[in-house]
Amino acid sequence: MPNRLQSLLDKRATAWNAAQEFQARGDDAPLSAEDRSAWEEALAEVETLSQEIETEERHARLSAVDYTQVVAANGDTEEAEEARARHGGEEGVTAYSNAWRSWLRDGTQDLTSEERNVLRSGWVDGKELRAQGVATGAAGGYVVPPEFRAKMVETMKFYGAMRQVAEVITTATGATLPWPTNDDTANVGAILGENTQVTEQDVTLGQQDIGAYMYTSKLVRVSLQLLQDSVLDFETWLARKLGERIGRIQNTHFTTGTGTAQPEGVQTNAVIGKTGLVGQTTSVTYDDLIDLVHSVDPAYRNSGRVQFMLADSTLGSVRKLKDTQNRPLWEPSVQAGVPDKVVGYSYIVNQDMPAMAANAKSILFGDFFAGYLIRDVSDIQTLRLSERYADFLQVGFLAFARTDGTPQDTAAIRAYRNSAT
């Protein structure tokens, strides 16, 4: 996998250099029809290779998912072992996973008494989970085991750019979670003269909070033949389908949500850092991007986490831009693990960001980890409907996840807004 990824990066670099040679030649004299065709082919190859690189990187991320990613986000082995101990140890997790797979494929009726007991007790904290709690075993639903949850969360992250850059926390309950806020940046110290009383300057505290919305994947019907087919990796397939659905809607809300009966998106009320000049309803310039970068305070720019967020169509326009020295603003990576860059900063494509249009906040820049918070509650739960579609020889599955998102530091992110006219 790493060799293939590096090969794709090398091919893209070669294609990009070829495209730049044609473009540089066109500055002195118009390109011939033959050269323009070759130039367009080189750009198309860059686009195709970029998509393949993204696919390879996604595959690498999904392949690397294991239990330690779920219980220890930083990969700390000691912390992972402690988490396993809290959840009944490795044997308890394995027993729950095996019982859950049996339930997923064959339903409740074919479970052994031992498997039923394992599913009822759960692996979350060793307590029995009743219908009034976080799981509804009596209704046919159980908290998903670690490896299945990992696959689903990774799929949600892939379809949800916000999960890749925001701060994500997990809480045991969905109770409203408040935290204090303070902006003391306008206050400064002072020189104190001899025999002079110290003046007072209060610290003003505020409060923000975050709740939890219940998200569902909606229903997926699966044929009994598919469930019984031992050749198919059914768990991976189901995790992908359910995760994609939840990931799409959550990312939409995390990006452009109104904040009323749904999370408030990062773009919705983002502070404007730069507005395009009249006529720039569907365009952005090099100067605009530089101004946008410098509209974010250096305290955030120096965090090492700042980046652009934009839709793919906007990125296509940015790729064509050059700086004042006629150098492309887009810098394709030639090394695996190193992101492509725009004016020296990495970027993330978020298809829920609006395309450039009149008055649209089409580009964001800043520290999204500092600026946006995503809160997940407990674990994802899956519901199995065995009888509802029995006459179709089908079983219904749906997943539930309790989540919310909110801006937590509006100073960390600024927006580029296209001109209104």
pLDDT in tens, the chain (421 residues): 567 888 888 888 888 888 777 766 655 566 777 877 887 888 888 888 887 887 777 666 655 544 344 333 334 444 444 444 444 456 666 777 777 667 766 676 667 777 777 776 655 444 333 333 343 443 445 566 666 667 777 777 777 899 999 999 999 889 999 988 888 888 889 989 988 989 888 888 888 899 999 999 999 898 888 877 755 677 777 878 888 899 999 999 999 999 999 999 999 999 999 999 999 999 999 999 999 999 999 999 999 999 999 999 999 999 889 888 888 889 888 787 788 999 999 999 999 999 999 999 999 999 999 999 999 997 788 888 888 888 898 989 898 999 999 999 999 999 999 999 9
The pLDDT, as a whole number, for residue 224 is 82
Q: What is the CA radius of gyration of the chain?
A: 26
Q: Is 41 exposed, middle or buried (0-12, 13-18, 19+ CB in 10 A)?
A: middle
HSE of 11 in the Cβ direction (CA atoms, 13 Å)?
A: 16
Show the tokens assigned to 32: 């011939």
The pLDDT, as a whole number, for residue 124 is 46
The pLDDT, as a whole number, for residue 75 is 42
Cα torsion 146, 372, 134, 220 to 10°: value is: -70
Instruction: Report the alpha-carbon angle 397-141-220, nearest 5.
Output: 5
What is the DSSP track for 74-105? T--HHHHHHHHHHTTHHHHHHHHHHHHHHHHH
Partners of 342 in the beta sheet? 330, 345
SS (H, E, C) 204-258: CEEEEEECCEEEECCCEEEEHHHHHCCCCCHHHHHHHHHHHHHHHHHHHHHHHCE
The pLDDT, as a whole number, for residue 26 is 53
Nearby residues of 220 by Cβ (< 8 Å), 6 or more positions away: 238, 241, 242, 396, 397, 398
The pLDDT, as a whole number, for residue 311 is 95
The model carries a pTM of 0.74
Residues in the chain: 421
C-beta separation of 183 from 390 below 8 A: no
SS (H, E, C) 264-283: ECCCCCCEEEEECCCCCCCC
